[in-house]
Amino acid sequence: MKKTLLILTLIFLTACAPSTPAAEVPSPSPSATASAIPLTSTPTKIPTATFPAPPVAPTPVLYTTRVSPVDQMLEVFVPAGKFHMGGFDVHAENDEIPTREVTLKEYWIDQYEVTNAMYSLCVQAGVCQAPQTSYSNRRPEYFGHPEFQDYPVITVTWSDAQIYCAWVGRRLPTEAEWERAARGDDDLRTFPWGEEPPSELYANFNNLIRDTSRVGSYPLGVSPFGAYDMAGNVAEWVQDFYKLEYYLSAPLADPTGPDQAPRLIQRVIRGGSYQDVWVNIRVANRGYEMGPNPDAAFDSPDLFGRSSIKIGFRCASDP
């Protein structure tokens, strides 16, 4: 009987108690209906060691420039002075040592690599021969194509580059002039922009895009004297013959490379290319390719030297 009364009492209390609705998902607030990652949100902080934050754009510098009248190339001025030449970093190779302080006279150097449009002027004038190929690494049409007029000319030999520079009233830079324009005078920097590790922010290298890029596309990679693309994009012919041990006996004032000797026909190339890994785009790195060989057979391509889809050039000139 007591048990029956207890059950009836519980039923009565349950029936009289206010009902509790089932749990519901709260309605979204107006702000929650916006984009999942609002444009104004603060991004999650990621460790710098894993994903470096983009560098702050350098303070604009006014470089001393002039315009070459024949091809309209902008040249930047490099005053007379001293700089540290050679490999000062842990990745220095045998041909980059010993390091030394070199004195150079003042000179001008092209702010950009010579472009397809500029080189075509020399071809149209009947002075330069056309590049060895009209295609680039990934583009079936390159030289002569309107889309790539402001891209660096490629597949030109050392002789082609020398002829072009003479036609516009300039010359190929010496190896020392090239390195000083890339490095500057104030420090022992490893890259034209300093010590920041190379990335797609600074240069076209390591097959990031697997072909050339428009000249001047990497303003963060500009050198202290205002020259662009001195690391990556295309490697660049310079005036000097290549000799591995040249730095052991090179003059300390206005060096122009070793004198020609039997079988010394390789010419220096500098800067590395879009295909090169980061260690080969250091300002001290020295490369080489076959220059013209006067002893080669008349019908041999070695008579005029070799070319490559990753080699171009820039010119220099005296005051």
pLDDT in tens, the chain (319 residues): 433 333 333 333 344 344 434 333 333 333 333 323 223 333 333 233 333 444 454 555 679 999 999 999 999 999 999 999 999 999 999 999 999 999 999 999 999 999 999 999 999 999 999 999 999 999 999 999 999 999 999 999 999 999 999 999 999 999 999 999 999 998 899 999 999 999 999 999 999 999 999 999 999 999 999 999 999 999 999 999 999 999 999 999 999 999 987 778 999 999 999 999 999 999 999 999 999 998 888 888 888 999 999 999 999 999 9
**What's the rounded Cα separation, in Å, for the pair 261 and 245?**
14
pTM metric for this prediction: 0.81
Q: Which of 309, 269, 270, 259 is nearest to 289 (CA)?
A: 269
**What's the rounded Cα separation, in Å, for the pair 183 and 178?**
9
**What's the rounded Cα separation, in Å, for the pair 304 and 290?**
9
| Contact assessment for residue 114 and residue 149, using Cβ atoms and an 8 Å cutoff | no
- At 271-315, the pLDDT tens digits run 999 999 999 999 999 999 999 998 888 888 888 999 999 999 999
What are the distances in angstroms from CA 222 to CA 117, 227, 296? Answer: 22, 6, 40
Q: What DSSP state is assigned to residue 43?
A: P
Secondary element (H or E) of residue 77: strand 74-78
How are the residues of the chain apportioned to helix, strand and coil, as percentages rounded to the nearest 5? 20, 15, 65
Domain positions in the chain are 65-317
**What's the rounded Cα separation, in Å, for the pair 144 and 136?**
12
Domain at 65-317, CATH homologous superfamily = paralog of FGE (formylglycine-generating enzyme) (3.90.1580.10)
Helical spans, DSSP H, in 68-203 = 116-124, 158-167, 175-183
Q: Sign of dihedral through CA atoms 168, 174, 177, 181?
A: positive
**What's the rounded Cα separation, in Å, for the pair 85 and 172?**
19
Beta-sheet pairing, 311-313 with 235-241 = parallel
Q: Residues 6 or more apart from 20 whose CB is under 8 A from it?
A: none
| Contact assessment for residue 258 and residue 220, using Cβ atoms and an 8 Å cutoff | no
